[in-house]
A and B are shown apart, each in its own frame.
Chain A
């Protein structure tokens, strides 16, 4: 047996020298490329570190964190935003408790992000103790939600559709809470012209995706339908919207729409932008959903009909649930794209994140040449959000096994 034991011993792990030789210095061209890359990395890193820590003046960023977050939203009403943030955190915790897995990873990442934000090495004068405590409190909200969610889940008392419904309800609540009401003293009206910053960016993207979902599904079904007139109308809408840049659509809804509506019907600017985003997203959503519909085999239709279901029941109960499951990754991808596209709202005069940055630069003559700092900061914010969303979506795909089939 001594011989077989020597056979099953693991082969020696390749040492670092072997790894280096294989991956960096396998031949003279590779060696050359390695030397070149190291030089590039060294110079870039030195320049970046030098700029970030010694040359750049971060005053316009550090001194205006609130503006980046919520824009000109009135300071004494900011508690409403906190309520929304806490609501989302708690919901995230509950969802993590319910589904675990990737959602849990995402909830943990959110918690870490709150912690990092609360501990940001910035003078207290710009990020006060209260704000830091409020940020840290979200950790508790996530934890409480998680405990409640996982406990209910263990007793099988938490239905998935309730959680989804609660998400939808919290979305509606967000809009009501932010806008307030005319005659309520506790929740005075905050005109949508005062919404801004990252909050508005998220709002535009979320409204765009949520509202475009039903329209997109209907358009996709219309495009697949056997009724020629319906089909033609759906195809026309989808192709026209996809064929023109988003800027033209936003311009259309923000400048031309008032011409098309009677004088009694006035829609405010943010709503018009949301309408444009929704119409734009709906056309792309329709194409995504169509991809899902096409992935359903004909046998499913035939089986449903054989069971005696009519066309409507077949679509609603058999086809759509399967088709929508397949397109979840595509919808997440579309949300990320829409999130980045919200920056175009600056062109029609909304105060979203990018516009806040440009307004801050114009607000103080001393900051006249600090464009790079401000826009690099905004780029970083976008990158953190989009990259983590893309990462999470990849994990979901792998976990569910979607995209493999």
Chain B
């Protein structure tokens, strides 16, 4: 030991430059200082540029009038509304395409997964071709094909393609029969929600009782009766039907009535659904294949019927494998919906870009948009962690 060095350079007889604890802290502080200095460098440049060019950095602009129209919106919108409101409308459009997309992609993925597991050689291979083609072509190229290659080249309104349904396809978009809410819808809504909640509750409680007592309580049947029964009662009680069928009719220049999907929305939806469906198909197929044959044979040996085997053995085991990657596919679909900007669907990203072009508030708008996407994905991983913890407990 170099005894001629001052004593404060030693801790428990070890020189500080060899002390692991000290070295670790030095490394941490050094790296933190480096990162902070880098961020400081960036921000000081930004402030300089902001002052020199008169860029605003606050969020005050969110209250000023937007001044640009939006092709479609879930909530009533006109250019006199504020930027903040426009961004909110864009966010709702993102959510709209995501929810519809997730729903349809799951159905498509499920069908494709079952087809890939089919014993029929042709069906199996058709599904395989679908998955292998779609997964190996960039989503943006597919969106271009859907939008520029298909929806933009549809005939005009007067020669609209008519599909059974009736569904009309034209340059103005997709028109189909819709169920539109009427005045009495708000009276009927409690019955609908009540039916959903009660049937779920009844199912859980009766199933728990059945497991505990061993007596058959028919949880699925009771749940189904409640699910269908309550809304039907509400429908009969209501003074007028709460939903009204609306059929698109060709007028002089355009269709009236019915449900309209704009070409942008329809193309984005089709692209996202077909693309994500292929990924979901692989997720579901992997999950079902992960259930070992022994489990199913054991269930058969216990005397469970094939439906009971599926419901009580195969599905719970497969779902545990399927759900985490499935949720991240849902998140991917939501994030991928930002590609809407390339085909002109007014989602949150599109609105954000328009605001940047109009008001020049690039940084605040961007921070806001990134924060929203980030909280969506953090929320998703929160759900995932919660789910993983739950299935892990079940496992042990």
Is A262's beta carbon under 8 Å from chain B? Answer: yes
User: Beta-carbon contacts of A209-238 to B below 8 Å, as 1s and 0s?
Assistant: 000000000000000001111100100000
Tell whether B122 is near chain A: CB-to-CB under 8 Å: yes
A308 to B118, CA, bound (A): 57
Bits for B154-167, please: 1 = Cβ < 8 Å to A, else 0. 00000000000000
Across the A-B interface, the 8 shortest Cβ-Cβ residue pairs? A372-B149, A243-B377, A340-B138, A23-B121, A371-B148, A37-B122, A386-B136, A245-B335
Residues of A within 8 Å of B145, CB to CB, are 371-372, 375-376, 379
Inside 8 A of A255's CB, which chain B residues have their CB? 356, 362
Bound Cα distance A261, B126 (Å): 52
Q: Which of A69-77, A146-154, A343-351 contacts B (4 or more CB under 8 A)?
A: A343-351
Residues 1-33 of B, flagged 1 when their CB comes within 8 A of A and 0 if not, give 000000000000000000000001001110110
B341 at interface by CB-CB < 8 Å: yes
Question: Which residues in A have their C-beta under 8 angstroms from that of B356?
Answer: 255
Number of interface residues of B (CB under 8 A): 57
A169 at interface (Cβ–Cβ under 8 A)? no
Interface-lining segment among A184-192, A246-254, A290-298, A323-331: A246-254
A24's contact among B121, B349, B377, by CB below 8 Å, is which?
Answer: B121
A380's nearest neighbour on chain B, judged by CB, is B137
Q: With A245-B335, A379-B142 known to touch, is A387 a contact of B28 (CB < 8 Å)?
A: no
Q: Which B residues touch A354, using CB under 8 A?
A: 138, 140-141, 144
B133 touches A (CB below 8 Å): yes
Docked CA distance A304–B142 (Å): 50
Q: Could you tell me if A30 and B138 are in contact, using CB atoms closer than 8 angstroms?
A: no
Counting CB contacts under 8 A, is B374 at the interface?
Answer: yes
Q: Given the interface contacts A346-B140, A378-B141, does A233 sit within 8 Å of B32 by beta carbon?
A: yes
Query: Main SS of the interface on chain A?
Result: helix
* 28 pairs, CB–CB < 8 Å, chain A vs chain B: A30-B119, A33-B120, A33-B123, A37-B126, A40-B126, A229-B28, A229-B31, A243-B373, A243-B376, A243-B377, A244-B335, A244-B374, A247-B338, A248-B369, A251-B353, A251-B366, A255-B356, A259-B49, A261-B42, A261-B45, A340-B136, A354-B138, A357-B144, A371-B149, A379-B142, A382-B137, A387-B136, A390-B136
Residue numbers in B under 8 Å from A248 (CB-CB) = 338, 349, 366, 369-370, 373
Taking the complex as formed, is A260 at the interface, i.e. its CB lies under 8 A from any CB of chain B?
Answer: yes
**Is B240 part of the binding interface, using a Cβ–Cβ cutoff of 8 Å?**
no
* Besides the known contacts A24-B120, A256-B363, 19 further A-B residue pairs in the complex with CB atoms under 8 A apart: A34-B122, A40-B126, A230-B28, A242-B377, A243-B374, A244-B374, A245-B339, A247-B339, A248-B369, A256-B362, A256-B366, A260-B42, A262-B45, A341-B138, A347-B342, A371-B144, A371-B152, A376-B149, A387-B136
Of residues 340 through 392 on chain A, the ones whose CB sits less than 8 Å from some CB of chain B are 340-341, 343-344, 346-347, 354, 357-358, 361, 369, 371-372, 375-376, 378-379, 382-383, 386-387, 390
In angstroms, Cα B151 to Cα A371, docked, is 11
Q: Is the contact region of chain B dominated by helix, strand, or loop, or is it mixed?
A: helix
Contact among A23, A226, A244, A379 with B119 in the assembled complex (CB-CB below 8 Å): A23
Q: Is A41 an interface residue (CB 8 A)?
A: yes
> With a CB–CB cut-off of 8 A, which chain A residues contact B378?
239, 243
Q: Measured between alpha carbons, how far is A30 from B119 in the docked complex, in Å?
A: 8
CB of B21 to closest CB in A, whole Å: 11
Partner of A41, one of B45, B122, B152: B122
User: Does chain A have a CB within 8 A of B73?
Assistant: no
- Partner pick for A387 among B126, B132, B353, CB 8 A cutoff: B132
Closest to B353 in A: A251
Q: What A residues does B43 contact at CB under 8 A?
A: 260
Q: State how many angstroms separate the Cβ of B255 from the closest Cβ of chain A.
A: 24
Known: A341-B138, A383-B136. A233 touches B35 (CB 8 A): yes
Tell me if B336 counts as interface (CB < 8 A to partner A): yes
Least Cβ distance of B116 to chain A in Å? Answer: 13
A78 touches B (CB below 8 Å): no
Q: Could you tell me if A227 and B27 are in contact, using CB atoms closer than 8 angstroms? A: yes
The complex places the Cα of A354 from the Cα of B339 at a distance, in Å, of: 14
Question: Which residues of A40-54 are within 8 A (CB) of B?
Answer: 40-41
Chain A residues with CB under 8 Å of B338's CB are 245, 247-248
Are A229 and B32 in contact, CB atoms less than 8 angstroms apart? yes
Greatest chain B CB density within 10 A among A40, A347, A357 is at: A347
Q: How far apart are A348's CB and chain B's nearest CB, in angstroms?
A: 11
Bound-state CA distance A240–B363 (Å) is 16
A382 touches B126 (CB 8 A): no
Chain B residues with Cβ below 8 Å from A243 are 373-374, 376-378
Q: Is B123 within 8 A of A37, CB to CB?
A: yes
The answer to whether B370 touches A375, judged by C-beta atoms less than 8 angstroms apart, is no
- Bound Cα distance from A243 to B374, whole angstroms: 5
Chain A residues with Cβ below 8 Å from B42 are 260-261
Closest beta carbon of chain B to A305's beta carbon, Å: 13
Chain B hits for A341, CB < 8 A: 138
Question: Any chain B CB within 8 A of the CB of A26?
Answer: yes
**Distance, CA A33 to CA B145, complexed state (A):** 29
Q: Cα distance A97–B85 when bound, in Å?
A: 63
Shortest Cβ distance from B143 into chain A, in angstroms?
Answer: 10
- List of A residues within 8 angstroms of B353 by Cβ: 251
The reply to whether B341 and A247 contact each other, CB–CB distance below 8 Å, is yes
Q: Given contacts A227-B28, A372-B150, A375-B145, are A23 and B335 in contact (CB under 8 A)?
A: no
Complex partner residue of B349 from A34, A245, A358, CB under 8 angstroms: A245
